[in-house]
Amino acid sequence: MKDAKVRLYVDHPLGDGQTIPLERDQAHYLFGVMRLAIGAHILLFNSKDGEWRAEVTQAGKRGGELNCVSRTKPLQMPPDLWLLFAPIKKARTDFIVEKAAEMGAARIMPVQTDFTNSDRIRQDRLQAHAVEAAEQCGGTYVPEVTDLQKLDRVLADWPEDRELMFCDEAEAGAAKALMDVTGKSWAILIGPEGGFSPAERARLHAHRQAHVVSLGPRILRADTAAVAAMTLWQQKLGDW
């Protein structure tokens, strides 16, 4: 059997004998960049049907066609974990989205806090980064990246069945570890470069479902904090 050297996310049903038409950008990547030809095998996933081996049956500059041959992995859903973070500089925001997708977030939610430097994001671009991360890390599920939302509105509509891991930079050096609340839906909240405002901190400390956590003796950059927090959560409550 031919080796499949490329993984591709497709927004199309996958199944035995299923034909998948390619969009122009996908065709350019497979046939122009990766130099694949008719008969080549690639791996496909769509966040619903697992991972499938597919064969190139048509190849052109503006389109092409694939045919599913066999399933290689079942659908592997991530834990029910959301990552909430305040957008920072472009490259570092991209990094947070990529690492969250790799590390098993089910939803990625940019939030605007009192001290958030950015008041807009390119949701479609960040979603594309999540897709690329899933393609590269072998995942079969791509987390949704939501549009930017105000933190106060998110907290006002917070679901009663979801716990909130609040990573408070003011607690650096304190021994505040994540408590073991298994079998629950969770979210992690990472603040902006300027930290949370006093009003936000007070509201979060008073939040019934919030668990205040310290990420160690030093104040971490926002992108480092996101990776550290997800690592802590995965080791304690996740699927690692």
pLDDT at 196: 94
pLDDT at 1: 52
Q: CA angle at residue 37 from 36 to 39, to 5 degrees?
A: 115
Report CA-CA distances (Å) from 76 to 43, 79, 116, 186: 15, 10, 34, 18
Contact at 8 Å (CB) between 204 and 168? yes
Mean pLDDT is highest, among 153-157, 194-198, 213-217, for: 153-157
Lowest-confidence segment of 32-41, 108-117, 169-178 by average pLDDT = 169-178
Which part of the chain is CATH 2.40.240.20? 7-73
Burial (CB < 10 A; 0-12, 13-18, 19+), residue 224, is middle
Which part of the chain is CATH 3.40.1280.10? 81-237
Contact at 8 Å (CB) between 38 and 56? yes
Q: Which CATH superfamily is domain 81-237 in?
A: SPOUT methyltransferase, trefoil knot domain (3.40.1280.10)
Contact at 8 Å (CB) between 150 and 112? yes
Q: How many other C-beta atoms are found inside a 10 Å radius of the C-beta of residue 117?
A: 13
Closest listed residue to residue 32, CA positions, set 10, 59, 9: 59
Contacts by 154-160 with C-beta closer than 8 Å and gap 24+? Answer: 154/84, 154/109, 154/111, 155/203, 155/204, 155/207, 158/207, 158/209, 159/185, 160/209
Report CA-CA distances (Å) from 20 to 53, 138, 141: 12, 20, 18
pLDDT in tens, 91-100: 999 999 999 9
| CATH for the stretch 7-73 | 2.40.240.20
pLDDT in tens, 111-131: 999 999 888 899 999 999 999
Contact at 8 Å (CB) between 68 and 53? yes
Please tell me the pTM assigned to this model. 0.92
pLDDT at 174: 63
Burial (CB < 10 A; 0-12, 13-18, 19+), residue 13, is exposed
Average pLDDT over every residue of 142-163: 96
Tokens 């969770």 found at = 186
